[in-house]
Amino acid sequence: MTIFGFILRRIIKEIGICNRQEHSKRASKLSQKITNAKVHLGSLVWEEINEISDLKEVYLELKSLTKKQENIKSAQVEFIESNNELKLKVEKIEFDSTQNINLTYKEKGDLSLELSELKKQIHETEEECKKIRKRFIGVDNSQENETVETFKSLYTKERQKLVNLRLELEEKNKLIKKLNEKLNKILEATKLEISETMNEVSKASKKVASQSAEIEAIESSKKEFFIDIGTFIFKNLESSDPNLQSLKEKYKLSSRGHKQLIQSMDHHSILAS
């Protein structure tokens, strides 16, 4: 805003025509623009101000903060890498567990099929035993002893077969029980291992978050120092200090544009009041 424009708006304001809210918004935007310019300048030149006596302390503070920030960032990288490794560990635990569970379920499924076939064989053998037994139980004397003995022998073989089948069935049931116990152990062990690892992940994540907060706090402090540097340099651009003149020439700095922004902000602030 030019001085003429400001005077004209002051006159118009006196007769009650003024958009105070709009002027307040513009003043706020200009203030932010000025602050951003100072921050940008300060961040750009701070490593080159150590020979300017008035900024020596600011330089040392920034150097210390920057070193501290770099150390935290370095440590944070290690925590992030560790956290990523822990997450990969969890994925591997889940994968290995799933593989073991699937294999155990397959083994159990195969056994279940065998059990079903055994039960079928047992039923068939029981029926066969009943049929054979009827052939030699309650026979009359006219039936030849040799035929009776033959059926008895056959019956004995079938009964032995039945015993063996039932023993095999019992063994298969024991294996099924063991597989169920194995599944429970896998699930419990997986749950415990994942829980312990996720606790480590949680701790590492909290540490990373804490470090991020520290980095942000340091960045905020650095910003305040950058503003101080920017403010000082803009105010002293016409100084004869060779260090300031060197910065002015190197970065092609001009106080005119900065002063115009401040003046325009002041005008809008007055009109907003």
How many domains does the chain contain in total?
1
Query: Would you give the distance in Å from CA 19 to the centre of its chain?
Result: 49
Residue 137 tokens, joined = 């139980």
Residue carrying structure tokens 């699930």: 187
- How far is residue 71's CA from residue 66's CA, in Å, rounded to a whole number? 9
Q: Transcribe 13-25 into DSSP letters.
A: HHTT---HHHHHH
Q: Is residue 144 part of a domain?
A: no
Residue 7 reports pLDDT greater than 60 = no
Q: Is residue 116 part of a domain?
A: no
Residue 28 tokens, joined = 């706020």
Q: Is residue 245 part of a domain?
A: yes
Q: Is residue 212 part of a domain?
A: yes
Kind and range of the H or E run holding 126: helix 56-136
* pLDDT for residue 237: 86
Q: Is residue 189 part of a domain?
A: yes
pTM for this predicted structure:
0.66
| Local confidence band at 4 (pLDDT 50, 70, 90 cut-offs) | very low
- How far is residue 101's CA from residue 107's CA, in Å, rounded to a whole number? 10
Domain of residue 71, residue span:
3-110+166-272
CATH assignment at residue 230: 1.10.287
* pLDDT for residue 27: 67
Q: Which of 207, 177, 201, 178 is nearest to 93 (CA)?
A: 201
* pLDDT for residue 8: 46
Q: Is residue 249 part of a domain?
A: yes
Q: What is the pLDDT of residues 101-143, one digit of tens each?
A: 999 999 999 999 999 999 999 999 999 999 888 877 765 555 5
Q: Is the dihedral of CA 46, 48, 52, 56 positive or negative?
A: positive
CA-to-CA dists, residue 66 to 80, 207, 225, angstroms = 21, 20, 12
Q: Is residue 123 part of a domain?
A: no
- How far is residue 48's CA from residue 36's CA, in Å, rounded to a whole number? 19
